[in-house]
């Protein structure tokens, strides 16, 4: 059974978009994935997103994606939400991935706006509707125009929110005004998908985070959230400022690359990357160490 949820927080409040660990020879490391997922939940995550961008989903096979969902559900599915990325720029393929994720035991789906082909809003609407229609799982939209090339316009979000299984949005648009209107009009549960904007998005109505830096600072993210929920504006701002070096350092270059380097520094499963991503240079690794230490991470 999936962990309990509410309409306000259908996937909990603090989730980490998990990397996909690989072995030294580049194969899927299911044992490492289970250990990393357990570590993240022990640290305070309410949910784990697998097979997302941070999970190197463009380079994993459909079979590997299903294996990963099964492994992570087996490891933590009784105490954390396991959300499977199922979005591609091919609606038929996305529907197949969604059904496979449900069969593998996922508790929900993360569906990114179709990328590269730049469909119109009507195409985006039909794409998400087809995926939401394909399973019984709740769906979190993922609006990241910097990667997809096309934003989810507010009117599209409002229309998609009418679907009974579309319950949330991961916002990496970087537009607080647009987010404010979309939250107010759609009623969707809103999750920050841009770590630097975690606190600002909370301030306009977000309920939590789908984080990358959660790999290394989940307790601090929980402290930020708790301060905000308690109305302690000064403490929330102080935690935000404490985390600035981490927010910046983890995105000086491509986020999967820095995350796997950070996990290696902490002795946690991650392993190598699949091309076209590559490991950090020694200079980049040294800079990452400085950033993490400045943000309070104990290496």
Q: Assess contact for 168 and 10: CB atoms under 8 A.
A: yes
User: Which residues, other chains included, contact 275 with Cβ-Cβ below 8 Å and sequence gap of 6+?
Assistant: 59
Which member of 65, 116, 118, 142 is catalytic?
142
- Dihedral of CA atoms 156, 17, 102, 87 in degrees, nearest 10, equals 40
Q: Is 142 a catalytic residue?
A: yes
Nearest Cα neighbor of 211 from 10, 16, 6, 8 is: 16
| CA separation for the pair 261, 289 (Å, rounded) | 9
Residue 199, token pair as written in the block: 């606190």
- What is the Cα–Cα distance from 60 to 272, expressed in whole angstroms? 13
Give residue 230's Cα distance to chain centre: 25
> Given 65, 115, 170, 191, which residue is catalytic?
170
How far is residue 90's CA from residue 54's CA, in Å, rounded to a whole number? Answer: 20
Calculate helix-pair angle for 214-229, 233-249, nearest 10 degrees. Answer: 160
Interior angle at CA 53, CA 56 and CA 186, nearest 5: 160
State the catalytic residues.
142, 170
């Amino acid at each position: 059974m999936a962990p309990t949820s509410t309409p306000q927080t259908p996937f909990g409040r603090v989730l980490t978009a998990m990397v996909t660990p690989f072995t030294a020879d580049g194969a899927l490391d299911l044992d490492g994935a289970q250990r990393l997922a357990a570590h993240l939940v022990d640290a305070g995550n309410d949910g784990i997103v697998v097979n997302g961008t941070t999970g190197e989903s463009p380079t994993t096979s459909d079979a590997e994606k299903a294996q990963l969902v099964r492994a992570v559900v087996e490891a933590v599915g009784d105490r954390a939400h396991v959300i499977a990325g199922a979005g591609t720029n091919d609606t038929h393929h996305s529907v197949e991935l969604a059904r496979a994720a449900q069969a593998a035991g996922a508790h929900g789906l993360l569906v990114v706006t179709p990328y590269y082909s730049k469909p119109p809003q009507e195409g985006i609407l039909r794409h998400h509707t087809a995926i939401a229609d394909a399973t019984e799982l709740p769906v979190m939209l993922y609006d990241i125009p910097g990667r997809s090339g096309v934003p989810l316009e507010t009117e599209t979000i409002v229309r998609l929110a009418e679907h009974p299984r579309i319950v949330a949005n991961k916002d990496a648009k970087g537009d607080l005004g647009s987010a404010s209107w979309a939250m107010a009009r759609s009623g969707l549960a809103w999750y920050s998908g841009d770590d630097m904007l975690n606190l600002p998005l909370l301030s306009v109505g977000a309920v939590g985070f789908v984080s990358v830096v959660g790999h290394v600072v989940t307790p601090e993210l929980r402290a930020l959230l708790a301060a905000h929920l308690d109305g302690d504006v000064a403490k929330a701002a102080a935690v935000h400022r404490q985390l600035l070096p981490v927010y910046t350092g983890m995105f000086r270059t491509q986020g999967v690359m820095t995350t796997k380097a950070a996990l290696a520094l902490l002795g946690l499963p991650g392993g190598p990357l699949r091309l076209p991503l590559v490991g950090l240079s020694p200079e980049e690794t040294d800079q990452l160490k400085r950033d993490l230490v400045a943000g309070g991470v104990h290496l």
